[in-house]
Amino acid sequence: MTDFPCCKLEIFIPESHLSVLQQALWETDAGHIGKYDCCLSYSPVTGCWRPLEGSHPYLGTLGQLRTEPELKVEVACPTGRVEAVLAAVKRVHPYEEPVINVIPLYRTGL
């Protein structure tokens, strides 16, 4: 992953937690692109999960399938900052096992 200077994080989160996530991302300088900061995109999605034995779900009941509206937040991040950004996201994310995809980017911009 160190061959790529930048990556994209995809973070799935309840809409109720968008503002605290944005603040955590901006405090770690995720979403800084050229002469702009606080850059991110989000779109509505539907999440689906079933809590298993030993889990402590934010929403849902053990053994029962659950679907809920969520947001998929996409933000660029320098590869060297990924661990700090992930730690910040996990501090504010309500889910026990948040879905956070880190995708190396071959190229950004034009």
In the predicted model, what is the mean pLDDT of the chain? 93
Contact present, 89 and 25 (Cβ < 8 Å): yes
pLDDT band at 2 (very low <50, low <70, confident <90, very high): very low
How many other C-beta atoms can be found within 10 angstroms of the C-beta atom of residue 50? 13
Taking only the tens place, the pLDDT of each residue in 8-30 is 999 999 999 999 999 999 999 99
Range 20-46 average pLDDT = 96
pLDDT at 3: 55
Distance, C-alpha 91 to centroid of its chain = 12
pTM attached to this predicted model: 0.91
- Find the distance separating the first CA and the last CA of the chain, reported in whole Å: 21
Following CA atoms 101, 25, 57, 68 in sequence, which dihedral angle do they give, to the nearest 10 degrees? -70
